[in-house]
Amino acid sequence: MTNQPAGRRPDELFETGADRAGYVQEMFGDISARYDLMNTLMTVGRHHAWRRMAARALVRPGDRVIDVGCGTGDLTFACLDAGAGDVLGLDFARPMLARAREKATHRGASGAAFALGDATQLPLADASVDGWCSAFVVRNIPDLDAALAEAWRVLRPGGRLAVLEIPRLSPSPLRPLARVHFNRVVPLLGGLVSGHGSAYRYLPVSVDHFLAPPEFTQRLRSHGFRVREVRQLMFGTVALHVADKPVAHG
């Protein structure tokens, strides 16, 4: 693999000119078979409840939704369960999409469609969806502003956005514990379970380079979104932002 040659540190992926998106795309392709199991182990099974919460905050009956960076499809399915009419799951890692399609067939999720694509260039017309969502994705997108501009473009006025993410950890009495979890436990488990230690060493580094919840709120506002709700979950190690694209006045 050329994106992170042996011996390079995950920090180097955040240096100017590094192909972080290429690394992320290849890495999720490599870990797709064990991705769901690792999520369950890392979150002690809580991850499904967070996606359900995001989906309920986002979806109105019959909505057309896009799930960006859908991975193996769990947020797509949560949106359908919450009443969406149809959900397009989009991801740039083919093996993750293959898993999502298998799961959709198994579940009989006829409202789900999956497509290969990039968060920064959505294959949708302007103002064509009611909801835009992502879970554990935006931290991995080097050009976050391009992805948020695309979310704004494809959402209809009055449409909603929900983002689940692991934010940069704020100082708190529990932060040392969270750091041990992300910096020690997760890479160890990831190496054992997925056989891809580098993926799970990248995770805590990507968290350190991401935004804290108030900063992400500001970023959403800078794109015009009205932030409705920010929920901090699992002792602040996961954040849910819910926002809408206001209907223009005047």
**Contact residues: ligand SAM, CB under 6 A:** 21, 24-25, 28, 69-71, 74-75, 91-93, 96, 118-120, 135-137, 140-141
Cβ nearer to ligand SAM, comparing 24 with 65: 24
Structure tokens of 147? 């992805």
Q: Distance of CA 190 to CAs 1, 65, 203, 218, Å? A: 19, 31, 10, 33
Pick the closer one to ligand SAM by CB: 92 or 114: 92
Residue nearest to ligand SAM as judged by C-beta position? 71
Quote the least distance from Cβ 188 to ligand SAM, whole Å: 18
Inter-residue contact 77 to 53 (CB < 8 Å): no
Residue 42 to residue 104: CA distance in whole angstroms: 24
DSSP characters over 218-250:
HHHHHTT-EEEEEEEETTTTEEEEEEE-PPP--
Compare residues 149 and 157 and give the one whose CB is closer to ligand SAM: 149
Give least dist CB 119 to ligand SAM, A: 4
Give 132 or 136: the residue with its C-beta nearer to ligand SAM.
Answer: 136
CB of 81 to ligand SAM, least distance (A): 14
Which C-beta is closer to ligand SAM: that of 25 or that of 198?
A: 25
Which DSSP state fits 7? T
Minimum distance, C-beta of residue 49 to ligand SAM, in the bound complex (Å): 12
- Nearest approach in angstroms of CB 75 to ligand SAM is 5
Distance CA 8, CA 30 (A): 18
Orientation angle between helical segments 213-222 and 144-154, nearest 10 degrees? 50
* Token pair 């209809």 in the structure block, residue: 156
Q: Give the angle 128-48-95 at the CA atoms, nearest 5°.
A: 65
Closer to ligand SAM at the Cβ: 63 or 74? 74
Cα separation, 207 vs 235, whole angstroms: 15
* Minimum separation from the CB atom of position 92 to ligand SAM (A): 4
